[in-house]
Each structure stands twice: as structure tokens, then as C-alpha cells.
Amino acid sequence: MTAALLSALLSHWWRNPVQLFTLLAGLSLGTALWTGVQAINAEARASYDDAARTLDEGQLAQLATASGAPISEQTYVALRRAGWLVSPVIEGRLGSVRIIGIDPLTLPRDTGAARMMTGADLSGFLIPPGQILAQAETLNRLPDTDAARIATPGAAPGVAITDIGVAQLLLNRVGQIDRLMVTPEQPLGQRPLADVAPDLLLTAAQGSTDVARLTDSFHLNLTAFGLLSFVVGLFIVHGAIGLAFEQRRPMLRSLRALGAPLNRLIALMVLELAGLALIAGGVGIALGYAMAAALLPDVAATLRGLYGAEVAGQLVLRPVWVISGLAMALGGTAAAAAGSLWSLARMPLLASALPQAWGAARTGRAQVTFALVLLGLAGALTQWGQGLLAGFVLLGALLIGGALLLPPILRAVLHWAEARARGPLAQWFWADTRQQLPGLSLALMALLLAMAANVGVSTMVSSFRLTFVAFLDQRLASELYVTTANPAEADRVLNSLEGTVDAVLPLLSMRQSVAGQPVELYGARDHATYRDNWHLLQAVPDAWDALARGEGVLINEQLFRRAGLGLGAPVPLAQGGALPVLGIYGDYGNPIGQIVLTEAEFRARYPEVTALRFGLRLDPGRVPDLRAKLQADAGLPASGIVDQAAIKALSLDVFERTFLVTSALNMLTLAVAGFAILMGLLTLAAMRLPQMAPVWALGVTRRHLALLDLGRALLLAALTGVLALPLGLALAWALLAIVNVEAFGWRLPMSLFWMDYLRLGVFALLAAAVAAAWPAWRLSRMKPARLLGVFRHER
Amino acid sequence: MSVRIWLLLMLLAAPLTGLAQGFAGLGSRAEGFALPSPDRVLQFPADHGAHPAFRIEWWYLTANMTGPDGTPYGLQWTLFRSALAPEDGQGWGAPQLWMGHAAVTTPTAHHVTERLARGGIGQAGVTAAPFAAWIDDWSLTGPDFDHLRLTASGPDFAYDVNLQARGPLVLHGQNGYSVKSAQGQASHYYSQPAFALSGTLRLAEGEVKVTGSAWLDREWSSQPLAQDQTGWDWFSLSFDSGDKLMGFVLRGADDYTSATWIGADGTVTSFKDGAFEARPLTWHNVAGRSVPVGWQVRLPIRGVDVTLRAVNPDAWMATSVPYWEGPVTLTGSHDGVGYLEMTGYGE
């Protein structure tokens, strides 16, 4: 009997292939977007872990100078000879590859680098020209060097290991060490650090890596997008399943009347849905994989540019996201089908075979109340919410609340229009539109969400871009930036610059910790460059003069927000007490806090720090000449001289790539929503015949009816679009003012981009038109016999 | 003491944990290294220093000691030099690599630690006069080779002892040119077998004042030896009579033995294969291997027939390449103390 029941149940799908397609496609698309995002996240996280494991960053204590200045080899040897088991590390970039120089003889045993060295030819590694160990793909990105290239599959992407001596040569930093890894087990009788190397700071093992924390917000963003897409996909699935259950009510009643037990029927339907979910999930995972593979290079570029985090350009099939994709497909189907199964379980044996007014019950008072509660929650969170998670809850509440409110609002609007309609056809049009609303509301909600997300995200991105470009223009005021390897080279550069430029601005910097936050300290020379170009968000009167007198400091917005340091608040500095905040400046694109002191204050407090980087002010036309002169006279490598235009181009490129992924996901969501409308209309088409046939019988042509249908779809899409705009702007505001502040530490001014919204509206109408065209065309070509048939049938 | 050449080569040839089997690259870079010569007259103090033109070299010290309560202790301090190329130099790229082993053995515990270092940056090295040999914070230093201070430290032990020579240097073989095989392979080899030692051990239970005697070997060469043997057992014995005996057995298809007798009066006599005999008496499981820690040792020609017992049977050197090395006590025809080194006992 089971086989017979199953074939009866499945026969529905054979007779309604479009419905089957809807179900599978909706679920596949939702799963694909979810899986794709998960795959990208999993890949990126795995890459960070690999990279961090190379030197067990965070797992080992470290020694470094407070100023970030290099450690001398003498200091290293002095520490070793004082019983400190430390191992030197130098890091730098060759092209786009992160070069890590290590000493294999003192390297702590359990580091990833030590594992990479297993089986290596040690003498080849140690003796110049040495060897570079990295993944083959990374080796290809390396510029030409004398060192032998050894493909090492276990290496982290974008990371190359070489001997410290070789690395010093490659990086043009002979004699320098960036930091020392401290072996966990130290010998007895070690001399105190303060006696041996007083200028070094010991950082305890941390357990997590900076890059993981920095990129959390980025991944949370992606996850939210994935989830949003999946929810949109679920709207489609819910629609398809609901329709299928409604249409099978007569069959189910017949089967039960013939003696099929209810339990077995339900069990079989669950089985059927699970099978469909697995198929759709599998397809979705494959699609998601393809999507992730296509997007990953951009994501990798984004992460590298924004956070310096390396991500492999190639995707690995990881069980984590395959399982998560299938679980989402099954869970989503269960969620979408739960209501239908529940009503089936409670269906009286002799219930009417007529489909219920499908979905009509959903638009009741309860829904409005729930929507208002969600919007209230969102409002409350803007006032009292804390943290990134609250930000995302706010976004979720806003979007779902807005979506739930859509059908009641549309109904009210249609009601209002119907009351003002003149003529029977117009009245029928409005009434019929309202009557279709329950069946289309899920698709329209999907469209609303997609459009709102589009408006919100594009507003955020465009606002960000506008601010960022202006910020770059202000901040990168110097025409040329010069980086020297050591104080001697810096002196040579300064000497050769004598009298050739308008101003030399030394960039003095060091790192320290303020209120538990890592912070960069800068010593700025009092020069018009800063006064003219730095825009202060908040400042005491005559802040620049006060700064020049050494009466306080300027801090960036990130530090202001994270450490809660307002104007006048004392900023604790490592040496010589605290200085008050004189002003707060915007600092976009930088993940960590900054403090600016005058050059004199800085030099007095940190005499051990010498300036190795300089900004040069000069006539832009003379930049190429000066560059050549610096290379010839001071022997600076070309990589040590960067002009303003190049930095700007690089920064903008990073920016564009950052949001390329976002806009791609945006368009995909919109496409899914368009598809939802198509499927909604197709499934409704058959059910609406009884309503259409009488109108046709009264003399309205099929063509006219089809045009009315097309117009109806456009009307609903337009109304949805109009409602999506305020929702999207609210979303943009939440992203800019709340999520961004939490994630990145800065607040962006919100700008409006009406042309973009208009274009989006046209896209949405186009999507609706395309979606409605095929059902309308089918209606216009429908055989009159089918329409006549309505009057023959019972129903 | 050819066995120690093998020890070093074995250490360097085997893949170090997390390091490189690349040390084996040694074999292909043999060209250009200086070779030991019978015509060379050792010059002191210059020859106490390093010989970077030779491939391998060591300063190898073992000591038998007693605490205030009569507890026996053993101590080891070894500095190996291994050249990747026959040249000195400055900086990271210089081809001189150094390895240190340090250990303290008590009747109930055996503490071991190891260090690796580059010569070119000053992390390890040896100078002849005033004498200084060091790797990291470990050092063997003094105004001359007869008055030395020895220090080493590990996570669970440290020591700081003074050494006073109680006799002349002993030049092995022909004026310090020590032939190692029938094929003519050789090394330059001398010892100071009679240091009086006093100092302090730092252990988990606290500081222990110790006194005793130490034996320092100096050897350098460039030639790898044939490796058909599976391992060796090496003995350095100090009899209460003041005489000393060094002997070893190379285990292989045919065991090969060699010995040196150093009389209390300073006379040195070498014995060829067969004169020296060593037979395992008791076996002990350590680090998953079965190792003989009790021995019968005989040199009939000098009337020696003694039974050796390890002070601590667990004196396992868990270094990059593991081996057994620890103090022993002797009974039988002679009483005394000594050091035993055993390699090649597989898991």
C-alpha cells in the first residue's frame, strides 16, 4: 500500500512540473547563496588559522620594541646569552607575498613553520642564496630572487618562509629583527629582561589572533547576507509547498476515504519533502560552490587590502559548509512545510475538497501586531542596543517587521483604490488584485526585502565611498611618501632633500595600549598640511594651536568610540602621564585607534623612536624628478618611495573590491525575488481560472485580461518598491550609524542617491514585468475551451 | 674516540624533529674541508679554539660527582660544531652551526636539554685564549685551559662548577693524530681526563654542593666513517687507584674494540682490537627500548675485571637523536666511577 500511496502523492508533481521546479529552484537558490557565503567564510577563516599557525601567533609570547622599531641582532644574542630562549622573526612583503624570515635552529618546535621545515634541506635553507618555502601558487607571485623556490603544500596562502638571513637580504633590512618568539619552556637562572633588553616589551600569549578579531565583522556581514538570501529562498519554498498541499487536499481526502491511515500519509509526505529537500540541497551546494569559487578572489583581495589577511584564492570543499548547506535545506523545508503538515493532520476526513483561501489567514490582526512589535524592538535597539550582535538583531527586526507589514498596507491601499474606482472593470480589477494578494504576498515580501536590502546597502556603500574619497584627498596631502630602512638611510635621505622640497614631515610612530585597545601614536610636525587638511569631527576651540603648544592630543574616531574618550578626557600615555583630548578626527578604513601628539611632545616622551618615514610636500610636477634623485643620491629602493597618486589608487581599488561582493550578492537577491514573483504568478494562474472565466464570459478579451494581469503585477511591484524605499533608508541608517560604528569604529555621514533608487525601481519593475510576462502570455493564448470548462466543473 | 665522530654524524645525519634531514647534505659538501695530518703538531692554547676549516669538532665533558651526603651525581656538557662549508664568517649566512647538550643525572632523576645556534652572529663559539666556549647562556670559560668555569641551564636544572686540571693534557694516537680505521681515516684528538670539580647543582629539590672529577675530550675531523655498525658502547672509567681506562665496543657483524690506559703517573698506552672486552649483564627498559645498564668490563692485560652499574638506569638523552649517557659505579678487581654512553639500541 505504501508504494501505491507514494506514487499517488508523487503523481501530483508529475502533473505540476512547474510547481516542482519552483520548490526545487527556490530551495536550491536559497541554499546556494547560504552555502556560498559559508564556503567563503570557512575558507577565509581556515586561511587565517593557517597563516597564524605558521608562527603560532597568539599562542606564543612575543618580545618587541614599544616603538615598533627593529630589534638589533646584538640584542637578540644578548638575550640568548642571558638564558632567554627566543627566536627571531622578520616580516615583510615581496610583491603581494608575506615573507617571514625565521631561524630554524631556535624556532619553537611546535610552530607551523617548524612543521613546514620538516624534511627540508637545512644547509640549502641556511646558506645564501637560501630557499623560499611556500605554496606553488604563492611562489608564482614572488618577484625574481636568487633563492631557490621550494613548493610546500602545507604553507599558508600568501605566506612564504625563508631563513632570517635570506629574508633580511631580500627585504633590504640587514641586521634587523622585527620580533622575538618566546619558547614556552624557559631555563632556570634567566637574567631579568629589564637588565638585558630594557627597551623590549613582553606580550603574553593571547590565544586568538588579531586578524580573526578584525575580520569578524566582515564575516558577520557576509553571514547576514547569506541568511537574508536563504530567507528569500524560503519564501518561495513556502509558497510552493503551501500550494501543493492545497491542491492535494482532494486527493488526500480520497485516499483517506479509501482507508489510507493518516499517520502513514503524513510520514510519506515528510519523506517526500525530505527527499526533495536533499536533492535541492545538493544542487544548492553545487551552485553555492560555483558562486563561492567565482567570488572568492574578490573576497580574498578585500580581506588582504582591508586587514592584511591572506586568503587562499582556491576553494576547498569543506564538510562544514556542505553539512550546513544540507541542514539549512532540510530545516528550511521543515519550517516551510510545518504549517501545511499541521493543517493536514487536523483535516477532518470529510472536509471540503475545495482549497481554502490560501494564505488568507496569515494577513490577520496577529500579523500586524507582530510586525509592530518587531519594529518597536528595532526602535528600542537603536536607543539602547549595544554591540554588533544587537546591530544585526536590529537589522533583522527592521526587515522582518517591514516585510510582515507589507500585505496589510497593500490591502489597505487596494481597498482605498477600489472605493474610488469607477466602472465595473476597474472595480473588478482592484477587487481581484486584492483577492490575489494573499497568494502573492510572500513573493512580494521577498521583493520588498531584496529591494530594501539593495537600497540600504547601496546607500551605505555610496555614502562610504563619498566620505572615503574626500577623506583620502584630505589625509594624503603630501605629494611623496618615503620609507627608509634605518636611521642612517633616513639621514642620507634628509641630507639629499636639503632645499629641494617645500617641507619634510617626519612620520614618527609607535604602538602602545590605551584602555586595553592597541593604539598607534603619531608625532606630527606643526605644519599647515595638517591644519588645512585634517577635518576634525569634534574639537575644542583653537585645537590646532593648543596641540602645537603641547597642551593635548588629537585622537581618531575609533579610539573616541571604543575607549569612550571625549573632548577634554585625559589620554594615558606610557611615559609622563596623560594629556587631554583636543579634537577627534575621522579616520576611515583604519581598524585601530590613533593618537596624534606634536613632534616635540613625541620626541620628548619617546626619545628612542626615530623617524623612518617621511611625507614630502613639493610641486606635484617635480615628483618624478625627486623620485629619481632619491634613488640615485640616497640609494633608496624604488619600493621605499610611494607617491600620493599611487596610494590613492591603491586605497580606492581596495575599497571597490571590498564592496564588489556586496553588490554581487545584492543583485542575486533581487533576482531570486523576481523569480519568487514569477513562481507566485504561475501557481496562481491555474487557481484563478474560476475568477477569470466569468469576466471573460462577460466579454473582456483574453488579451485584455492578460494586459490587466501584467499591469497588476507592475502595480504591485511599484507599490512594494515605494514601500521598500523608506525601509531601505532605515536599513541604510542602521548600517551606517549602528552596525558600522560597532564593526569598524567610525560613523559615516549618510547621503542619498536618488538616481540609484530610481534605477533600482526600474529594475524591480522590469523583474516584475519579466516575471508576469509569461503567465500573461499564457493567459492570452489560453484555449477558450479551458475557460468554458470552468463552468462545467463543480469547482 | 672514534665513536663520538659517529655519534655526531649520526646526530647530524638523522632528521631532527621539526628540523631538517638536510644536515645530511653534509655528505655532498665534503670537498674543501681540511684533513687531519700526522705531521701536524698541536699548538696550545691555539688548538683549544675552533677549527672552522674542519667539518666537525667538539668539546665534550662528563663528570662524576658526589653531594654532601654522599649521593652520586653525573654531569654532561657537550658543545658540537658542525660546518656546512669550510669557512668562518659573520652573519646569518656563515656556515658554522653549533649544538649543545647538557644533562644532570641523580640516582632518581635525569635532566636533559639541548641548544642549537648559529656561529656567525655570536650566539655560540669558542675562543682559545682566554679560553671561552659558549652556546646561549651555557659556557666553559677560564683564563686558561687548566682553570675553567662550567655553566648550563635547562627548564628543570642548572649547574655552575669550577674545574682545576690535576694533570697534563693526554694526546691520543700519534701526538694527537688518532687513526680511526684501517682505511686511514683519522682525527685530531686530545683529552684532559683529570679535572678536579667543585660547584653547585640547581635542582627542583634545591641547590646541591658537589665535588668530583671531570673528563674533557677535544676532537676534530672532517672525514665521515663507514657506518656498517649498528651502534656502540663507550666507557670512561676512573679507578680509585688513580688509573683511568677509556674503551669502546663498536657493535656490528664483528665487534670492534679499542682502549686507552692512562696510568696514575700520566703514561698513556693504547690497545688494539680485542684487548678490551665488555659484556652486558642486566637490561633495562627506557623510552620504549631495552638498554644494557649493567656491564662486565675486562682489560685482562692490566688485570681489570669490573662490574658496572648505572647510577640511574633511566639516563636517557631525549635530544634530537636520542642515546643513553650517564654515570656508573664500578666494583670487582678495581673500585671507582665512570661514564657510560650507548647508542643504537632501537625501539
A425-445 per-position pLDDT tens digit: 888 889 888 888 877 777 788
The dihedrals phi and psi of A92, each to the nearest 5 degrees, come to -170, -175
Mean pLDDT of all residues belonging to chain A: 79
Whether the pLDDT of residue A787 is over 60: the answer is yes
The DSSP-derived string for A775-795 is HHHHHHT--HHHHHHHHHS--
Partners of A83 on chain B (C-beta within 8 Å) are 136-137, 153
What pLDDT does B200 receive?
Answer: 96
Stretch A353-364: mean pLDDT, rounded?
48
Tell whether B38 lies on the interface with A, counting CB pairs under 8 A.
no
Determine, for residues B154 and A188 on separate chains, whether the beta-carbon distance falls below 8 Å.
yes
Rounded CA separation A217/A237 (Å): 30
Whether the pLDDT of residue A161 is over 70: the answer is yes
Determine, for residues A83 and B153 on separate chains, whether the beta-carbon distance falls below 8 Å.
yes
DSSP H helices, A55-186, are 73-81, 112-117, 122-126, 136-141, 164-170
How distant is the Cα of A27 from the closest Cα of chain B, in angstroms? Answer: 48
Determine, for residues B123 and A164 on separate chains, whether the beta-carbon distance falls below 8 Å.
no
Rounded CA separation A555/A520 (Å): 10
Determine, for residues A73 and B121 on separate chains, whether the beta-carbon distance falls below 8 Å.
yes
Tell whether A195 lies on the interface with B, counting CB pairs under 8 A.
no
What pLDDT does A496 receive?
Answer: 82
Tell whether B29 lies on the interface with A, counting CB pairs under 8 A.
yes
> Tens digit of pLDDT for each residue in B269-318?
888 888 999 999 999 999 889 999 999 999 999 999 999 999 999 999 98
Task: For residue A26, give the DSSP letter.
Answer: H
Closest-CA residue of chain B to A164: B92
The partner residue sitting opposite A127, judged by closest CB among B85, B122, B157, is B85
Stretch B122-135: mean pLDDT, rounded?
94
> Tens digit of pLDDT for each residue in A442-464?
778 878 887 887 888 778 778 87
Task: Give the domain ranges of chain B.
Answer: 2-342
Whether the pLDDT of residue B4 is over 50: the answer is no
Whether the pLDDT of residue A315 is over 80: the answer is no
The DSSP-derived string for A205-229 is --SS-HHHHHHHHHHHHHHHHHHHH
Whether the pLDDT of residue B237 is over 70: the answer is yes
Stretch A396-422: mean pLDDT, rounded?
88
Determine, for residues A189 and B153 on separate chains, whether the beta-carbon distance falls below 8 Å.
yes
How distant is the Cα of B66 from the closest Cα of chain A, in angstroms? Answer: 22
Task: Give the domain ranges of chain A.
Answer: 1-54+214-354, 59-205, 475-649
Partners of B25 on chain A (C-beta within 8 Å) are 121-124
Determine, for residues A123 and B22 on separate chains, whether the beta-carbon distance falls below 8 Å.
yes
What pLDDT does B340 receive?
Answer: 94
Secondary structure of residue A503 in the 3-state scheme: strand
Per cent of chain A over pLDDT 90 is 7
Rounded CA separation A645/A283 (Å): 46
Partners of A85 on chain B (C-beta within 8 Å) are 136
> Tens digit of pLDDT for each residue in A376-387?
988 888 888 777
Residue recorded with cell 499517520: A263
Closest-CA residue of chain A to B83: A123
Partners of B21 on chain A (C-beta within 8 Å) are 119, 121-122
CATH ID of B2-342, from 2.40.370.10, 3.40.50.300, 3.40.30.10, 3.40.50.410:
2.40.370.10
* Neighbouring C-beta atoms of residue B101, cutoff 10 Å: 24
What pLDDT does A87 receive?
Answer: 94
Cβ(B324)–Cβ(B295) under 8 Å? Answer: no
Tell whether A530 lies on the interface with B, counting CB pairs under 8 A.
no
How distant is the Cα of A70 from the closest Cα of chain B, in angstroms? Answer: 17
Stretch A632-639: mean pLDDT, rounded?
72
Whether the pLDDT of residue A707 is over 80: the answer is yes
> Tens digit of pLDDT for each residue in A255-281?
888 888 888 888 888 898 899 899 989
Partners of A121 on chain B (C-beta within 8 Å) are 20-22, 25
Q: Give the pLDDT band of residue A502 (cuts 50, 70, 90).
A: confident
- Of A214, A739, A72, whose CA–CA distance to A518 is shortest? A214
- Of A183, A215, A239, whose CA–CA distance to A62 is shortest? A183
Partners of B134 on chain A (C-beta within 8 Å) are 81
What pLDDT does B11 receive?
Answer: 42
Q: Give the pLDDT band of residue A658 (cuts 50, 70, 90).
A: low
Determine, for residues A81 and B137 on separate chains, whether the beta-carbon distance falls below 8 Å.
yes
Q: Give the pLDDT band of residue B234 (cuts 50, 70, 90).
A: confident
Closest-CA residue of chain A to B92: A165
Determine, for residues A83 and B154 on separate chains, whether the beta-carbon distance falls below 8 Å.
no
What pLDDT does A354 receive?
Answer: 47
Go through chain B and tell me how many residues it has: 347
Q: Give the pLDDT band of residue A741 (cuts 50, 70, 90).
A: confident
What pLDDT does B65 receive?
Answer: 96
Whether the pLDDT of residue A160 is over 70: the answer is yes
DSSP H helices, chain B, are 2-13
Tell whether B92 lies on the interface with A, counting CB pairs under 8 A.
yes
Q: What is the dihedral of CA A543, A547, A551, A552, to 10 degrees?
A: 80
The residue with greater pLDDT, A542 or A650, is A542
Tell whether B93 lies on the interface with A, counting CB pairs under 8 A.
yes
Whether the pLDDT of residue A41 is over 70: the answer is yes
The DSSP-derived string for A260-305 is --HHHHHHHHHHHHHHHHHHHHHHHHHHHHHHHHHHHHHHHHHHHH
Determine, for residues A188 and B155 on separate chains, whether the beta-carbon distance falls below 8 Å.
yes
Tell whether B65 lies on the interface with A, counting CB pairs under 8 A.
no
Range of weakest confidence among A156-160, B19-23, B248-252: B19-23
Stretch A576-604: mean pLDDT, rounded?
81
- Of A255, A225, A235, A55, whose CA–CA distance to A156 is shortest? A55
The residue with greater pLDDT, B21 or A301, is A301
Determine, for residues B20 and A122 on separate chains, whether the beta-carbon distance falls below 8 Å.
yes
How distant is the Cα of B89 from the closest Cα of chain A, in angstroms? Answer: 12
Rounded CA separation A360/A372 (Å): 19
Cell of B108: 632518581
Rounded CA separation A443/A408 (Å): 14
Q: Give the pLDDT band of residue B14 (cuts 50, 70, 90).
A: very low
> Tens digit of pLDDT for each residue in A167-185?
999 888 888 998 898 888 8
Q: Give the pLDDT band of residue B223 (cuts 50, 70, 90).
A: low
Stretch A714-718: mean pLDDT, rounded?
89
Residue B58 CA: distances (Å) to CA of A159, A287, B83, B248 = 38, 64, 12, 18
Range of weakest confidence among A517-526, B57-66, B165-174: A517-526
Determine, for residues B92 and A103 on separate chains, whether the beta-carbon distance falls below 8 Å.
yes
Determine, for residues B20 and A109 on separate chains, whether the beta-carbon distance falls below 8 Å.
no
- Side-chain-facing half-sphere of A721: CA atoms under 13 Å: 20
Partners of A115 on chain B (C-beta within 8 Å) are 18
- Side-chain-facing half-sphere of B85: CA atoms under 13 Å: 13
Over its C-alpha atoms, chain B yields an Rg (Å, rounded) of 19
Partners of A122 on chain B (C-beta within 8 Å) are 19-23, 25
Closest-CA residue of chain B to A122: B22
Residue A349 burial (10 A CB sphere; 0-12, 13-18, 19+): exposed
Whether the pLDDT of residue B329 is over 90: the answer is yes
Mean pLDDT of all residues belonging to chain B: 85
Rounded CA separation A691/A224 (Å): 41
Picking from B19, B104, B114 by the largest number of A CB atoms within 10 A of its own CB, the best residue to mutate is B19
Cβ(A642)–Cβ(A527) under 8 Å? Answer: no
Determine, for residues B137 and A125 on separate chains, whether the beta-carbon distance falls below 8 Å.
no
Determine, for residues B20 and A119 on separate chains, whether the beta-carbon distance falls below 8 Å.
yes
Residue recorded with cell 602602545: A512
Range of weakest confidence among A132-146, A279-293, A353-367, B209-223: A353-367
Q: Give the pLDDT band of residue A165 (cuts 50, 70, 90).
A: very high
Picking from A56, A79, A126, A176 by the largest number of B CB atoms within 10 A of its own CB, the best residue to mutate is A126
Per cent of chain B over pLDDT 90 is 58
The residue with greater pLDDT, B67 or A94, is B67
121-180 in A: which are within 8 Å (CB) of B?
121-128, 130, 163-166, 168, 174
